[in-house]
Amino acid sequence: MTGLGLVSPAGIGVPANWARVCSGESTASTDPDLAGIMVDFSCRVPGFDAEALLGRKHARRLDRFVQLAVVAAREAIADAGLDPESWDGGRVGVVLGCGMGGSSTWETQHRRLLEHGPGKVSPMLIPMLVPNMVAGQLAMEFGATGPNLVTATACASGATAIGVARDLLRSGACDIMLTGGTEAGVTPLSIAGFAQMGALSTRRDDPASASRPFDVARDGFVAAEAAGILVLERPEDARARGARAHAHIAGYGASADGFHQTAPDPEGRGAEQAIRAALADAGVAPSEIGHVNAHGTSTPLNDVAEARVLRRVLGEGVAVTSTKGVTGHALGGAGAIEAAYTVLAIEHGQIPPTANLDSQDPEIDLDIVAKSPREQHLELAMSDSFGFGGQNAVLVVSAG
Amino acid sequence: MSDVYDRVKELLTDKFGVPEEDIRLEATFEDLDLDSLDLVEFALATEEELGVGISDDEAAELETLADTVKLLESKGATV
């Protein structure tokens, strides 16, 4: 992994992200766009000015989930020291995760249909809405004309994409992969839908305390928007061009619960299967994993089910954190930004704390990093992601 | 030129992000980096802002901004 780009509630750019995630300070606040919705707070990217960052045309013709990804991709490619002007674009593939696509475009144009009739619907509705457009847009931006697709495994989409990208690289189909995930699904209809499921925290009076993974008083997740982009190359190729590797994607495991539309299997069998597959793929023993960036959504069901599996498979020695306490839950972007934070934890030898963990749920028997970052040398770490639909994706990351 | 041209100019800069210095009467939509989807949106915008739409058939005949302004004026665009 030679390049990294992040646009999330923790900031625009990798340095801003890492500083905020390590601060353990939540980014959730009241969201004027959600006024009148039963849950009216979220985690937004601070100061994202699409017109200033991307120009007026992109600001108008790209949905926000694509805009976030384009900005993150620029950072990742520059970080990798690659120049799209000179690369062999046919060997550059794009695999990104996205759970929903252009929700805000969908909702805005549906309102136009109802209020003004079908003749007023924008011709940009479909090109702005379809989730695969983000991968198509990166191909246009950077002349990356190799295999190009978007994975949809809900909240695991970003992690699934990274695993699939790694496999494409390994197969020899591409030499460079732009991968990761993006989501900008904080829109009134989506949030009303998640709220009606009972999935969201309802701490309207104190949004900053709402995302509290593994805490006994957690009551749901806080929706966020974010994009995380990684540049992957085969280690030998990166070495040959003298590029610095942040880390290696050493293992990937995927599975399905086959259990329920939204609830995790309480026994965590699907999650365990994916974790074991990722460990086997990396060729490492469970006890070698020093740190897990957990899915840790802050929902009552997820955190306890996930904790049981982690304890059972990895034992008690592993330092676990959920960066969702700071960033909220960026749905299809979550797996990607969390893979990035896992890489940064290894690079910096520092594990970010879980925000708002005041009183750990007694049912959760894990070493959760809380309050302040923990200095710890790491060789191997894991990031796990679980999607509605029962889809599980687990990445093992090793030092570069 | 006309008030209609001024309004078209305004639409192109404000809504479509066309740099003002690129806008000339003899400019084509292609010159202004506007594609067929932009043209459909432009027609929706003229209907909203000037009270006069542009049909698909009419749009197919348009080459330059001068043509566009002429068409809008002939259809009774008001500013």
The tens place of each residue's pLDDT in chain A, 400 residues long, gives 999 999 999 999 999 999 999 999 999 999 999 999 999 999 999 999 999 999 988 999 999 999 999 999 999 999 999 999 999 999 999 999 999 999 999 999 999 999 999 999 999 999 999 999 999 999 999 999 999 999 999 999 999 999 999 999 999 999 999 999 999 999 999 999 999 999 999 999 999 999 999 999 999 999 999 999 999 999 999 999 999 999 999 999 999 999 998 888 888 999 999 999 999 999 999 999 999 999 999 999 999 999 999 999 999 999 999 999 999 999 999 999 999 999 999 999 999 999 999 999 999 999 999 999 999 999 999 999 999 999 999 999 999 8
Facing residue for A124 by CB, picked from B17, B33, B37: B37
Using the Cβ of B22 and the Cβ atoms of chain A, whether some distance falls under 8 Å is answered with no
- Residue A261: both structure tokens together: 């539309």
- Rounded CA gap, B9 and B1, in Å? 11
This prediction has a pTM of 0.95
Return the bridge partners of A365, or none.
none
C-alpha distances (whole Å) from B10 to each of A57, B2, B47, B49 are 15, 13, 14, 10
Sort out which chain A residues have CB atoms less than 8 A from B37's CB and list them. Answer: 123-124, 127
Amino acid found at B62: L
- Rounded CA gap, A342 and A251, in Å? 13
Sort out which chain B residues have CB atoms less than 8 A from A57's CB and list them. Answer: 16-17, 33
Return the bridge partners of A178, or none.
A94, A231
Q: Where are the alpha helices (DSSP H) in A283-399?
A: 300-314, 324-327, 334-348
Which of A54, A60, A112 should one mutate to test binding to chain B, selecting the residue with the greatest count of B CBs within 10 A? A60
Using the Cβ of B31 and the Cβ atoms of chain A, whether some distance falls under 8 Å is answered with no
Catalytic residues of B: 35
Q: Where are the alpha helices (DSSP H) in A203-299?
A: 235-240, 269-282
Q: Do B33 and A57 touch (CB under 8 A)?
A: yes
Return the residue matching tokens 């994993």.
A289
Distance, C-alpha A184 to centroid of its chain? 11
Domain B3-74 maps to which CATH number in 1.10.1200.10, 2.60.40.1120, 3.40.50.300, 3.90.550.10? 1.10.1200.10
HSE (CB half, 13 Å, CA atoms) of B25?
Answer: 9
Domains for chain A: give ranges and CATH numbers.
3-240 (3.40.47.10), 247-399 (3.40.47.10)
Query: Is A335 in contact with A385 (CB distance < 8 Å)?
Result: yes
What SS3 state is found at A276? Answer: helix
Nearest C-alpha of chain A: how many angstroms from B44? Answer: 7
CB environment A62-97: b (16+ within 10 A), e (fewer) = bbbbbbbbbbbbbbbbebbebebeebeeeebbbbbb
ipTM of the complex: 0.85
- Rounded CA gap, A397 and A355, in Å? 23
Sort out which chain A residues have CB atoms less than 8 A from B46's CB and list them. Answer: none
- Rounded CA gap, A330 and A8, in Å? 8
Nearest C-alpha of chain A: how many angstroms from B30? Answer: 14
Nearest C-alpha of chain B: how many angstroms from A122? Answer: 6
φ/ψ (deg, to 5) at A360? -65, 135
